[in-house]
Structure 1
Amino acid sequence: MIIHRTAGQAGSADYGWLQAKYAFSFGHYFDPAFLGYSPLKALNQEVLAPGAGFQPKSYPDVDIVNLILRGKHDIHDNDGLYLESRQDECLFFSPRKDISYTETNPCEQSPLTRIQIWLKAARGSLRGSPQKLMLTQQPVQLIASPDGENGSIDLQQGVRISHLMLPAGESLTLPLYGKRAFYQSVHGTVTADDGQKQGIIECGDGAFIQESREVTFQAQTTCRTLLIDILT
């Protein structure tokens, strides 16, 4: 079953230096019906103005996946950690609750566009071991998995994250390994069909997929999307 949620139904914020869309309750946006989806706690699409940054902060007990869609992204902490990411890189890190982190757009000329995903922290994970990979133009790229399958980021928990890039007119059928999944459109329009329900998902929309063994995406336009398969 596919449960569609439009971009207009999601949370949003515009602070001038930061523009954001929130799939789930986050910051000043609160909706008791959308407090996360099992281990998926946040999925934010954010644009930081040139030279802008967040104030130093600590994080709750989460693991974080950053996808840099455009620009540059820096993370510093007060314990000497420095992480730099550029366009088309995916960065995974596990923040410590006793450490303060600062995230910035170091470029004074160009905005930073990113997607940030929060997952409930994996128990027994090796905290403080960042991982990075390059995003490709492949139709489907597994970017994160429970055990680092095919060179993907090793999440050490039951979540698979796939990055999809489809030209207009192309279709792709993907198996689902868990009973739940979440689909997020970055840009473009697709028709999604899980054999139970079919729907059109447009730019910025999300969709909850439940009790489905596979889903077929038919690109109506050139599209870029994420599929988060929740195994537990």
Structure 2
Amino acid sequence: MITSRTAQECGKADFGWLQARYTFSFGHYFDPTLLGYASLRVLNQEVLAPGASFQPRAYPKVDVLNLILQGEAEYRDSEGNTVTARQGEALLFATHPGVSYSEFNLSKEQPLTRMQLWLDACPQRENTSVQRVLLPEHTRYRLLASPDGAQQSLQLRQQVWVHHLELAPGETHTIKLHGPRAYLQSVHGSLNAITSSQAKEALVCGDGAFIREEESVTLIADTPLRALVIDLPI
């Protein structure tokens, strides 16, 4: 089973300094039927105006995955750590209650665009505070994050696999799934998604889709495509 959630259906915000699209309930946007999906709590795409920032805030015990799509960001925490990331990089923060984190757009001319995921962390697991990977252009497939850091991926504190795909028009790629749930997100581009049961959905830029009780999903790119498949067996 696959069910689309279009970009138009998502929550939105426009505060001038911040433009955002929220897949699940977040901030002022609240839908009691969309409080997350399995261990995926948050999936936001946000654009910070030049020089804008998020002031310090604390998180529940989650892994925060930031995929930088445009610009350069600086992150600081209340323990004195600072890290920067630019377009083409992904950062994973192992957050802890009681520690606050802030985010800054370092450019005075260019917006900062990034996608952010929150994934519930197992209470018993600890990890490096910050991990970073570079996503070179034109890499067709990359395991972005996993429970054990396989294939030089970011290591999560949960049984979740995050797959990153960049496909040219007409290219296809199949992702085998570990369990009954997954979420597909088009970062940009249009595609057709076909599951192992032959269920099919067409998605355009910014759309997502819930996948349930399927062994695999095949992505067929209609246009240049960048997408995430978030495998959520728990």
- Asked whether the two chains share a fold, i.e. TM above 0.5, the reply is yes
Q: State whether residues 63 and 157 of structure 2, in contact with CA within 8 Å, keep that contact through their aligned partners in structure 1.
A: no
- Aligned counterpart, 1:157: 158
- AA aligned opposite 2:150: E
Give 3-state SS (helix, strand or coil) of 1:54's partner.
strand
- Contact 2:171/2:220 (CA < 8 Å) preserved in 1? yes
1:138 maps to 2:101: no
- What does residue 208 of structure 2 align with? 206
> TM-score scaled to structure 2, two decimals?
0.96
Q: Aligned AA for 1:93? A: F
Aligned pair count reads: 232
Structure 1 position 6, deviation (Å): 0.7
1:227 aligns to 2:232 (yes or no): no
Secondary structure at the counterpart of residue 8 of structure 1: helix
Q: Does 1:179 align with 2:180?
A: yes
In structure 2, how many angstroms separate the alpha carbons of the residues matched to 1:82 and 1:125?
23
Give me the whole-angstrom Cα distance separating, in 1, the residues matched to 2:166 and 2:205. Answer: 13
Post-superposition Cα deviations, 1:160-203, rounded to whole Å, max 9, x if no partner, equal 00111011111112211111000011111001111331110111
Distance (Å, rounded) in 1 between the aligned partners of 2:218 and 2:96: 38
Which residue is 1:123 aligned to? 123
CA deviation digits over 1:66-119, x for unaligned, max 9? 000111111112221111111111100112221222111011111111001001
- Aligned amino acid, residue 149 of structure 2: G
The question of whether the paired residues in 1 share the 8 Å contact of 2:190 and 2:204 is answered with yes
1:116-160 CA deviation, whole Å, 9 max, x = no partner? 100112222225521110113222110100100011011132100
Contact kept in structure 2, 1:105 and 1:111, CA below 8 Å: yes
For structure 2, list consecutive stretches of 5 or more residues without a partner in the other structure.
none
Cα distance in 1 for partners of 2:191, 2:90 equals 24
Partner amino acid for 2:113?
T
How far apart, CA to CA, are the structure 2 residues paired with 1:183 and 1:39? 14
Normalised to the residue count of structure 1, the TM-score between the two structures is 0.96
Q: How does 1:1-232 map to 2 (within 5 A)?
A: 1-127=1-127, 129-136=129-136, 137-194=138-195, 195-232=197-234
- SS at 2:8's partner residue? helix
Separation of aligned partners in 2, 1:127 and 1:59: 16
Amino acid aligned to 2:183: F
Counterpart AA for 1:191: N
1:14 and 1:20 in contact (8 A); partners too = yes
Per-residue CA deviation, residues 13-62 of structure 1 (Å, 9 max, x unaligned), is 11111111111000000011110001100000011011000122111221
- 1:68, 1:173 → 2: CA distance? 25
